[in-house]
Amino acid sequence: MEAEHYSSTPVLEPFLDKNTHLNEQIFQYSPPFGFLDMKNKLQEILDLLPASSEERRGVRDCRRCLVIGNGGILKGLGLGPLLNQFDTIIRLNSGPVRGFSADVGNRTSIRMSYPEGSP
């Protein structure tokens, strides 16, 4: 089993800024496992970000992330206000928020889609 999957090593933080050090390990594999042959493009993207994310939060502050899908399992639970309290809210695909904010919250930090899940 181990030979079939790449091992996971924490070589890159989930929250990046302009000054993020790019460890050479992240350039060993092609996407989605790494950034092989994409060093210049990745640096161009990092250059668009603020100089430091630590200016906005203390280095020891806990960052709470939440990933919300669009399967409808939250409907009727009234968890919206609780979900809105997370620092970063990642929504998958095109799950509706309008009209359901009492159940799914109304904040979105990042919306991610993949071809199979997009309309």
Task: Decide if pLDDT at 59 tops 60.
Answer: no
Is residue 81 over pLDDT 60? yes
Instruction: Tell me if 60 is assigned to some domain.
Output: no
Looking at the structure, do residues 72 and 104 belong to the same domain, yes or no? yes
**pLDDT at position 74 over 70:** yes
The domain tally of the chain equals: 2
**Residue-range definition of the domain harbouring residue 30:** 2-55
Residues 66, 111: Cα–Cα separation, whole Å: 12
Composition of the chain by helix, strand, coil, percent to 5: 25, 10, 65
101: in domain: yes
Q: 12, 29, 55: which is the final residue of a domain? A: 55
Query: Does position 69 have pLDDT exceeding 90, yes or no?
Result: no
What is the identity of the amino acid at 97? V
Q: Are 50 and 81 part of one and the same domain?
A: no
Question: In the listed set 55, 77, 93, which residue is the last one of a domain according to the structure?
Answer: 55
